């Protein structure tokens, strides 16, 4: 058996949102290493370009474009740019998100905050799925991976809105799997536990980390490569009969901020 071919993405075209840093960057790099042509998109074109340049320097294929996922025109441009650059879309990683830092005091946040976090964490992934699906169907290979969170199933203080946006993504995927299955498109989620990125660093203290590790059987926090590995699994032919699932990648434990 040739196990390498089960993870081979040669000729496939991947799009990643928020690909300029953290988990998104890790996804871009692993998908390119598996042979995919990758469109790295980010709020910051500079960061996206750095990631794309790094992939090209390593012998891979990548292009960068700016995309603020809060803007519908930019979402459309992202898919148009991908099709114009590489001919189609086969893999979509809905990674860009906000609110993971938690501390959403439910008595202080306002409706504008709730609308914004739903727009970035739920509406944008839904919109990109809709824009990408026809290309995936036409190409004969489609895999969508949403980055959700452990917070989608945890219950903890001051996480109600973030947690509910990620729970919405979980449920959206398990339902869209029915709508997309006959189109040859799979849709799955990866739910990171606490993973070392700039976003996590902004809220992590030694005390919080110690508490997290006390509840983590694999006694360390996550690295970007841990999450990217799960994304590669869902993006690849090896998971050809897997759809509508959410895989928590969390060292076997629960890491909360409190
Ligand atoms: N790091 C964790 O511990 C953790 C845990 C659970 C879930 N997540 C999820 O993983 C995803 C990535 O988080 P991260 O920790 O890698 O974050 P990060 O802050 O390290 O990187 C996020 C990237 O997204 C970009 N970005 C921000 N707003 C954007 C927008 N509106 N449009 C496009 N790009 C935008 C940023 O420029 C940055 O490059 C998020 O959906 C987050 O909710 C992270």
What mean pLDDT do residues 127-140 have?
98
Site to substitute for ligand 1 among 46, 100, 170, most atoms within 8 A of C-beta: 100
What mean pLDDT do residues 152-181 have?
96
What is the structure's pLDDT at 86?
98
What mean pLDDT do residues 49-74 have?
98
What mean pLDDT do residues 119-138 have?
98
75-93 residue pLDDT tens: 999 999 999 999 999 999 9
- Which residues contact ligand 1 via a Cβ below 6 A? 17-18, 20-24, 42-44, 47, 67-70, 95-97, 100, 120, 147, 149, 192, 194-195, 197-200
Which domains, from first to last, does the chain contain? 10-248 (3.40.50.720)
- Cα 108 to ligand 1 centre (Å): 23
Q: Residue 254 region, left (φ>0) first, then alpha (ψ -120 to 50), else beta?
A: beta
What is the structure's pLDDT at 256?
85
Give the count of beta carbons closer than 10 Å to the beta carbon of residue 171: 13
Site to substitute for ligand 1 among 18, 71, 94, 253, most atoms within 8 A of C-beta: 18
103-119 residue pLDDT tens: 789 999 999 999 999 99
Q: What's the pLDDT band for 37 if we cut at 50, 70, 90?
A: very high
Mean pLDDT across the chain, nearest whole number? 96
- Cα 98 to ligand 1 centre (Å): 6
What is the structure's pLDDT at 115?
97
Which residues belong to the active site? Answer: 162
Q: How far apart are the first and last CA of the chain?
A: 47
Burial class (CB in 10 A: 0-12, 13-18, 19+), 198: exposed
What mean pLDDT do residues 128-146 have?
98
% pLDDT > 90, the chain? 91
What is the structure's pLDDT at 102?
65
**What number does the ligand 1 atom closest to the CA of 194 have?**
3
What mean pLDDT do residues 149-178 have?
95
Give the count of beta carbons closer than 10 Å to the beta carbon of residue 248: 20
Q: What is the CA radius of gyration of the chain?
A: 17
- b/e for 131-170, b at 16 or more Cβ within 10 A? bbbebbeebebbbbbbbbbbbbebeeebbbbbbbbbbbbb
What is the structure's pLDDT at 15?
98
- Cα 130 to ligand 1 centre (Å): 21
**What number does the ligand 1 atom closest to the CA of 26 have?**
16
- Cα 212 to ligand 1 centre (Å): 20
What mean pLDDT do residues 129-150 have?
98
What is the structure's pLDDT at 100?
72
What is the structure's pLDDT at 180?
98
């Amino acid at each position: 058996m040739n196990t390498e071919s089960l993870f081979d993405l040669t000729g496939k075209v991947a799009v990643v949102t928020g690909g300029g840093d953290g988990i998104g960057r890790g996804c871009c790099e692993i998908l390119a290493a598996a042979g995919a042509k990758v469109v790295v998109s980010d709020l910051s074109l500079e960061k996206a370009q750095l990631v794309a340049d790094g992939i090209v320097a390593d012998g891979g294929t990548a292009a960068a474009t700016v995309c603020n996922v809060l803007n519908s025109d930019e979402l459309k441009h992202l898919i148009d740019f991908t099709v114009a650059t590489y001919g189609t879309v086969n893999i979509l990683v809905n990674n860009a998100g906000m609110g993971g830092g938690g501390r959403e005091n439910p008595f202080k946040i306002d409706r504008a905050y709730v609308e914004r976090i739903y727009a970035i964490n739920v509406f944008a992934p839904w919109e990109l799925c809709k824009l990408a699906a026809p290309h995936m169907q036409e190409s004969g290979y489609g895999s969508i991976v949403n980055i959700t969170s452990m917070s989608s199933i945890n219950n903890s203080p001051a996480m109600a809105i973030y947690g509910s946006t990620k729970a919405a993504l979980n449920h959206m995927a398990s339902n869209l799997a029915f709508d997309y299955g006959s189109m040859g498109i799979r849709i799955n989620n990866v739910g990171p536990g606490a993973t070392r990125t700039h976003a996590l660093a902004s809220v992590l203290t030694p005390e919080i980390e110690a508490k997290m590790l006390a509840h983590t059987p694999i006694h360390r926090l996550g690295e970007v490569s841990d999450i990217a590995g799960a994304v590669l699994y869902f993006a690849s032919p090896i998971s050809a009969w897997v759809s509508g699932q959410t895989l928590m990648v969390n060292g076997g434990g629960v890491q909360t901020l409190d």
